Structure 1
Amino acid sequence: MSIEKYTWDGQDAKVVEKIHAKILDMLTSGESINYIALQKKPAVTLFPDSITLSNKRIFLCEFAKLGLATNFEIFSWHDIKDISFKEEIFGSKVTVIPFTGENLTVDYIPKVQARKLYQLIKEALDNMQDAKSSPKEKETPLSPPLHVPHPATPPAPKAITFDDEESKLPGHFAPAMDRPAPAAIDPPVIPTRPAPKEEEDDETTKKLTRLKNLFDRQLISQGEYETKKAEILRDL
């Protein structure tokens, strides 16, 4: 990755490259480096201190043990209360003021770089403050309730008087309440069929009946009854 944009204010390209590589390994998702400021002492310094700004944090880097070790102080923008710097004869002294803990100061920062640090950090803090003060979600103004007109009350029905001339016209029917009750209708009389008359006994039956009566009254004998009965039946 090109580091030219981090050397526009006179930073040492070799030191920026080394610090840039270390910071890249610590970036989180969506985080990017915005600016790198390097300490520049009057004497030659091979491993200067530095301040690196990302869009989420501040990295204060200090080389130790001839560059074999590196100490980092890392702050989220939410942890920073303010920043100040003081211009001196040889560079500026930049102080980062956290909400908790001690202030951290890096001296001998070139004046141009110190001013740039101050500008970028102030902008980041102001933007964060604006985000906190503004509501997360704008309240949507409620629309005034729609006026729904009530349906007009239908006019009361006109009372109908059946003494009017209209009621006397042919074909006009009066309401059921004023009509005379219909006369009761007797149920239709269903004529009953006369019971069929028993067929008159024929002559043969009469003869047999009289013959049986004579036998029952013992006026004739059993033989006479049987003989006479056979004669009657033979005549059929």
Structure 2
Amino acid sequence: MNIDHYINDGQDPKVVEKLLLKLQDMLVPNETVAYVAVQKMPAVTLFPDSVALTARRILLCESTKLGLATDFKIFPWNVIRDVSFKEGILGARFVLVLKNGEQVEITHIPKNQARKLYQQASSFFEEYQREAETGETIRSGTEVLESALPVPCPSEIVDELTSKLQKLKSLFEKQLITQAEYEQKKNELLSQL
């Protein structure tokens, strides 16, 4: 795997290579990683977090279990309200503001990586917004976005349906809806699978 494109700004090659291998199985056809930023703490960074950016989504990758596992937080462009970064003395914070008002950030990104990450993310976000408004397909780097809305991965759809089904069951158990309403709504949700 050629990772030279992803380590131009001082990213740790081992972290980037390991991350890209994991992401290969998560990307949809025609989706490529455009940029990777890797956390660098002021002292020693044993298990750095990272951010991977595609034209469809932002993936926050948090190292867990002493670097043996990775938790992925995936944010398609349609759930994002704004992207920004804030520079500090020893690095920068990359910040996502979601449409639900929640702020998600990753700290200790080297300043040059944060600037490039912000520049690329802003570009993709603007393209997504134009596509959502006009319905046109916009060429983004080597990748053509196929629709105005990013395609969520199957696990995101299942997680959302599971959450809705749990809420529905809770409403039924609290006797806020009838058995018939519960069954009708449950069948509607399950038909989405």
* Range of TM-score over shorter length: 0.5 to 0.7
- In structure 2, what residue type is equivalent to 1:14? K
**Which structure exhibits the higher relative contact order, with contacts defined as CA atoms closer than 8 Å and separated by 6 or more residues?**
2
Q: Aligned partners of 1:133, 1:31: CA distance in 2, in Å?
A: 22
Unaligned 5+ segments in structure 1 are: 138-236
Match of 2:115 in 1: 115
Q: Take 1:65 and 1:35, find their aligned partners in 2: how far apart are those partners?
A: 25
> What is the root-mean-square deviation in Å for CA atoms of aligned residues?
1.6
Q: Give the C-alpha shift of residue 102 in structure 1.
A: 2.4
User: 97-106 or 30-39, which moves further after superposition?
Assistant: 97-106
Matched, 1:44 2:44: yes
Q: Distance in 2 between matches of 1:14 and 1:38?
A: 11
Instruction: Report matched runs for 1:1-236 at 5 Å.
Output: 1-100=1-100, 102-134=102-134
In the aligned structure 2, how far is the partner of 1:133 from the partner of 1:102? 24
CA distance in 1, matches of 2:86, 2:24: 29
> What amino acid sits opposite 1:64 in the alignment?
T
- C-alpha distance in structure 2 between counterparts of 1:129 and 1:26, whole Å: 24
Instruction: Report the structure number with the largest CA radius of gyration.
Output: 1
**Structure 2 letter corresponding to 1:4:** D
Identity %: 49
Runs (4+) off by over 3 Å? none
Displacement of 1:69 in angstroms is 2.1
Corresponding residue of 1:148: none
Q: Which has the higher helix share?
A: 2
Distance 1:57 1:135 in 2: 18
Deviations 1:19-68 (A, max 9, x none): 11111111111111100000000111121010000121110001012112
In the other structure, the counterpart of 1:210 is none
State how far apart, in whole Å, the 2-side matches of 1:28 and 1:9 are.
Answer: 26
Mapped to 1, the partners of 2:115 and 2:14 lie a distance apart of 22
Q: For residue 9 of structure 2, give the secondary structure of its aligned residue in structure 1.
A: coil
Q: Give the TM-score, by structure 1 length.
A: 0.55
Partners in 2 of 1:101 and 1:55 — Cα distance? 22
